[in-house]
Amino acid sequence: MKWFLVAFCIIWVNCLDLEDNEDQLGDGIPELYDGDMLLTPEQKRILSLDGKDFWRVAYGHLVQRWPHNTVIYVFGAGSKHGLTKDEKNKVRAAMDYIESKTCVKYRPRQGQKDEDHVMIRRGSPGCWTNVGRGRYARLNLGEEKCFKHGAIVHELLHILGFAHTHQAPNRDDYIDINWGNVNKSAKNAFKKLPSEHWTMLGLPYDYDSVMHFSRKALSKNGEDTIVPQKKGVNIGFRQELSELDIKRINKYYNCPNV
Ligand SMILES: [Zn+2]
């Protein structure tokens, strides 16, 4: 659902594979939802149905889980799309971190048989990504800020199939949205998801999530756009997964001993 999406979030393929990918990926800034989420044509088609079925989509057939809990990746290459060694190390460190907390694994693409994979690259401004598994998914890390540990973890969770916390159907019990402070072009990023199409996976609202927007996210005037109802709570800018993030990933991917 176009209103749902947001606000916010490798390499040993042969050269021919990579060139094929680059041709299909193209350049420039794609149409994003919620600031950092890029939809496939099929996702857009479904979401254009007035938004219905999004979360069935998000947790169902459209935003698909990665088989065998394994995300397949390839790093972009060349002067335009390539990451430096240090940048690759930061991405791999974020992957290692998620692996250490969950049963999710990351492995490099091993050729054309790995049709579904995500290309992690530079190339366009901003930090953004597809949501869930896809044949030519992209994770664009186009600026230095994108290489902060928490920013990479955030985008990697989108690739796993997760969206932003502040749009949960029960969010009105936990946060207030100051609509008057929201950048006009970003209002869709703050719309609430319908309960019939959202699953909390049996877990409570999570102020501490790495997927939660900050107080002044997408503000037009520097004032708060999101205000926690609970006193003393900080939101956004997390560098680590919360305990509930870890549970959410492990539940969604049917990890053992959850
Ligand atoms: Zn995001």
| pLDDT above 80 for 111 | yes
The answer to whether residues 168 and 200 touch, using CB atoms and an 8 Å cutoff, is yes
Range with the poorest average pLDDT among 5-9, 58-62, 106-110, 241-245: 5-9
Question: Comparing 155 with 44, which gets the higher pLDDT?
Answer: 155
Total-model pTM: 0.80
Q: Find the 61 Cα to ligand 1 centroid distance in Å.
A: 21
Between 7 and 209, where is the model more confident?
A: 209
What was the pLDDT predicted at 98? 98
Q: How far is the CA of 14 from the centre of ligand 1 (A)?
A: 30
Q: Which residues are catalytic?
A: 155
Q: How far is the CA of 128 from the centre of ligand 1 (A)?
A: 7
* CA 116 to centroid of chain Cα atoms: 17
Q: Give the distance (Å) from ligand 1 centre to CA of residue 165.
A: 9
Q: What is the mean pLDDT of residues 26-44?
A: 58
The predicted pLDDT at position 45 comes to: 55
Neighbours of 153 (CB within 10 A): 23
pLDDT tens column, 189-229: 887 766 655 678 889 999 999 999 999 999 999 999 999 99
Q: What percent of the chain has pLDDT over 90?
A: 53
Give pLDDT, residue 197: 55
Give the mean model confidence (pLDDT) for residues 138-145: 92
Model pLDDT, residue 238: 93
CA 149 to centroid of ligand 1, rounded, Å: 14
Count Cβ atoms within 10 A of the Cβ of residue 202 and give its class: 0-12 exposed, 13-18 middle, 19 or more buried: exposed
Between 44 and 72, the higher pLDDT residue: 72
Cα distances from 15 to residues 73, 88, 108, in angstroms, run: 15, 18, 14
Query: What pLDDT is attached to residue 15?
Result: 25
- Whether the pLDDT of residue 257 is over 80: the answer is no
Structure confidence at residue 63 as a pLDDT band (50, 70, 90): low
Cα of 15 vs centre of ligand 1, distance in Å, is: 30
Distance 187 CA to ligand 1 centre (A): 15
Average pLDDT, the chain: 79
Q: How confident is the model at residue 4 (pLDDT cuts 50, 70, 90)?
A: very low
Q: Does residue 22 contact residue 151 with C-beta atoms inside 8 Å?
A: no
